[in-house]
A and B are shown apart, each in its own frame.
Chain A
Amino acid sequence: MDFKSNVPIYLQVIAELKAKMLTGEIRPGDKLPSSRELALTYQINPNTASRIYTELERQGLSYTRRGIGTFVTEDSSVLEYHKDLELKRIIGEFKSSLKALGCMEEDIPRLLEKYK
């Protein structure tokens, strides 16, 4: 993975892991790699890797079973919630790009129809 070097790496990896959870590439209940394996896969600092898991757990996206490992949450409402946030973010970006080109909010449905 190529990182943007001026954005915190833990946020970039979290975004990628979240995307994998939302698209189903990683499924609810799946075991996640250990933080050392995560560090090796992404070639990042081991402290950053453990911070990623702390943060995922804080957001309710994963949970730890002591001595066994870290797992993706099986609570579908949490995943739904994050999917919702992601949709809002993507649509927000989409709208602001269109506005930058001078399109009005009410033109959007017509444009979607035209370029579908």
Chain B
Amino acid sequence: MSVICKNLTKRYLFKTAVDQLNVTFEPGHIYALLGPNGTGKSTLMKMLCGLTTRTSGEILVEDHPFTYRDKANVAFAPTEFIFFDYMKISDVEKYYRDYFRDFDSNCFHRLLEELELSPSMKVKTLSSGMLAKLKIAATMSRQAKLLLLDEPLNGIDLLTRESILKTLISHADPSRAMVISSHMVEELEPIVDTAVFMKEGRIVLQTDVESLREKEGLSIVEKYRQIYGNTDMKEAI
């Protein structure tokens, strides 16, 4: 499912979070959505899954305007922890199955096993790493065509990070687009094919990361420093 944003804008009372932004997400690709805090990454994701309405501009899904029906094809994992404390993991499964027609229980159980979680565990007793894994398992068990993961690796230890990255790789598929936001750029470096840099609500650069390495000899991290480093200096002065 290809998704096109045209002059997409979100204004809050005193702040323009997303400003005339243009970007296209194509199926079969894994995108890193990059930029310091407060550049509009989460706002963009929330508009793409229909949680926030846009102020102006367009979102096109396969060339038709985004409507509530398209929400069924978008899976969003916000940064925050999203499960109710009183639930067991098996309740989370029921909850997701109730809400999302594309939720695949078999896939969910496979993922729980891979990520070393069990249905009888209580959400209240899970560590932050386990909660992050549960969030990934629940989100990836939807057969959605656009996956939006907001900071999935935030505050996660090395081994948990590796198992989450593996899950992401094994669920990439030519029919879906994955967008992963992060300000820890290094972690995403090997698994994404396209880097999208945001600054002040706009896209400042979208690039294939292998050709960035090949043509400019730069890693995503180095490009990140190039793009954001200078302004920090100016602000400091």
Contacts and interface: CB of A to CB of B under 8 A. Distances in A.
Interface of A: 3, 5-11, 36, 39-40, 42-48, 51
B193 interface: yes
Interface of B: 28-30, 162, 165-166, 169-170, 172, 186, 189-193, 210, 213-214, 217-222
A39 B193 CA distance: 12
B186 to A, nearest CB: 7
Interface SS majority for chain A: helix
Given A39-B169, A46-B172, A48-B210, A6 B222 contact: yes
A45 B217 CA distance: 19
B193 A48 contact: yes
Nearest to B186: A5
Contact of B166 (A3, A11, A40, A45): A40
Contacts of A44: 169, 190-191
Given A6-B219, A7-B213, A43 B170 contact: no
A10 B214 CA distance: 10
B222 A10 contact: no
B33 to A, nearest CB: 15
A50 to B, nearest CB: 10
Contacts of A40: 166, 169-170
Contacts of B221: 5
A47 B214 CA distance: 16
Nearest to B165: A43
A47 B219 contact: no
A43 B218 contact: no
A11 B213 CA distance: 10
